[in-house]
Amino acid sequence: MKHILLVPLLLLGATQAMADPVCTDAARDTWIPADQMQQNIINQGYSIKKFKETRTGCYEIYGYDSEKHRVEIYFNPVSGDIVKKEIDD
């Protein structure tokens, strides 16, 4: 019986570890508009392959940095700050 309960708990922990970061819980009308945010990101030297809003209150991009490394970046949609950044070599 203990093993049956342990498996769901382990799966729950794994799911939380892979979850998107939480960027903001601010009202949607305080967010930087998506088109403006995309332009800000491009002005920082990134090229955007995919841009989306996460269910955890982030703008997320998949794209490339100025050195052509693949990146996945989560931005706070209110401040525009990077919350999490992953770079592939």
pLDDT of the residue at 19:
82
b (16+ CB within 10 A) / e for 71-86: bebbbbbeeeeebeee
**Residue 11: is its pLDDT beyond 60?**
no
Task: Tokens for 39, please give them.
Answer: 């332009």
Domain residue limits, the chain: 21-87
State in words which class domain 21-87 has.
alpha beta
Q: pLDDT band for 14, please (50, 70, 90 cuts).
A: very low
Closest Cα partner for 21 from 69, 61, 78, 75? 75
Between 9 and 81, residue with greater pLDDT: 81
Closest Cα partner for 81 from 18, 21, 17, 27? 21
pLDDT tens per residue, range 30-85? 999 999 999 999 999 999 999 999 999 999 999 999 999 999 999 999 999 999 99
* Single pTM value for the model: 0.79
